[in-house]
Structure 1
Amino acid sequence: MMLWDFFLAGRGETTRMLLADQKQEWSEDVVTREIWQKGDLKKSCVFGQVPRFQDGDFVLVQSNAILRHLARNHGLYGQDAREATLLDMVNDGVEDLRVKYSRLIYQNYEAGKAEYIEALPAQLRPFENLLAQNDGGKGFIVGKKISFVDYNLLDILQLHLVLAPNCLDSFPLLAAYVQRLNARPHLKTYLESEGRKQRPINNNGKQ
């Protein structure tokens, strides 16, 4: 498996977390500004953006499509159709939050940060409620097994803990969830790796 991405965490980070936790090996080509401006790689990406993922002769772009492909291949898409649909619903909720976060980081950081953090509890509350409805919040976001959405939710929560370190103080289930997933042995090894620590969160220095 091969991943092309810029030298930052970005939208490829959830894929890295999933692969690491599932004990999968992958190689990665860092896309520099010079490589991207040449245009050849961009033309090879259907929608003109990375991350770009290749599994054998199967090439994908769009981070959520990559996640779903890996989920199907590694048993990370729920136990049945009902769970799969719930996972799609939660993943859409994560995507909504990620879009809001990205707009703040890239469009309105200085002027909008305080207002964003003030409104953040209302954005996090649905995920706390979903956890509470699933085994009392002791396990995963849906069902009894980890799913691709758990990696996606963990990533966006980690980003917000950098932005607002106290943002989970009022959400004990989410706080415990983050700690529990971070402690998974293979995921922990990846999260604490030097390569991961050196990768910027965003490409404009805001976080």
Structure 2
Amino acid sequence: MHMLLPDQDQSWKEEVVTMDIWMKGSLKASCLYGQLPKFQDGDVTLYQSSAILQHLGHSFGLYGKDHQEAALLDVVNDGVKDLRCRYTLLIYTNYEAGKEEYPFEMLLSQNEGGHAFIVGNQIFFADYNLLDLLLIQQVLATRCLDSFSLLSVYVACLSTRPMLKVFLAFPQHMNRPINGNGKQ
């Protein structure tokens, strides 16, 4: 959602929650599942990053041109969620054994030979989720995409979208910690 909103030229207000505020407990108690993020869109309050991203995808017409593309985007988004769950092991303990865990290279090759987005011919909500994960992985393991030429080009192309490029260069984005491990 941090990439989708600026890339779609949408403004938003982010309230950064410090660990001190979180540990006081009142905010945590008010959050569904006792966790962040929490996203307010008018009268709708949403929790869970993926649900928020999908909501934004629907809101801005970034959920596929038809039911088939929407279903493929759900497959990609769920695949990104699965990889997010596994990437700690992949990056920190056994990267070499996990390289085959990038099915997105195959998906790209099936979509206009890898010269397009992950699904269809325009950016959709799942592209932002995948890009975010791949950029994080490149911070943690700079060479993780070296064997994946289509994913490397995909990341490079999306990262140069004018509004996204500006956002990615913001100090607030560049200095955001990853997983609380001190890496930025």
Fold match, TM over 0.5?
yes
Aligned to 1:21: 7
Aligned residues of 2:90 and 2:98 also touching (Cα < 8 A): no
Structure 1 distance, partners of 2:150, 2:64, is 21
Aligned residues of 1:86 and 1:142 also touching (Cα < 8 A): yes
Moved more, 196-205 or 173-182: 196-205
Deviation at 1:140, TM superposition (A): 0.4
Aligned to 1:161: 138
Deviation at 1:120, TM superposition (A): 3.0
Does residue 43 (structure 1) correspond to residue 29 (structure 2)? The answer is: yes
Aligned to 1:176: 153
Aligned residues of 1:120 and 1:167 also touching (Cα < 8 A): no
Structure 2 distance, partners of 1:120, 1:186, is 33
Structure 2 distance, partners of 1:57, 1:35, is 24
Aligned to 2:99: 121
Structure 2 distance, partners of 1:103, 1:74, is 34
Q: Give 1:144's match in structure 2, choosing from 74, 96, 121.
A: 121
Segments of 5+ residues of structure 2 without an aligned counterpart are none
TM superposition score normalised by structure 1: 0.84
Runs of 4+ in 1 over 3 A off after TM superposition: 102-105
Aligned to 2:162: 185
Deviations 1:52-104 (A, max 9, x none): 10011211110000001000000110010111011111111111110012456
Query: In proportion to residue count, which structure has more strand?
Result: 1
Aligned-residue identity in percent? 58
Aligned to 1:203: 180
SS in 2 for 1:30: coil
Aligned residues of 2:177 and 2:183 also touching (Cα < 8 A): no
Deviation at 1:145, TM superposition (A): 1.3
Structure 2 distance, partners of 1:156, 1:164, is 12
Structure 1 distance, partners of 2:97, 2:138, is 15
How many pairs align?
Answer: 184
- Bigger relative CO (Cα 8 Å, ≥ 6 apart): 1
Deviation at 1:121, TM superposition (A): 1.9
- The Cα RMSD (Å) is 1.5
TM superposition score normalised by structure 2: 0.95
Aligned to 2:19: 33
Deviation at 1:33, TM superposition (A): 1.4
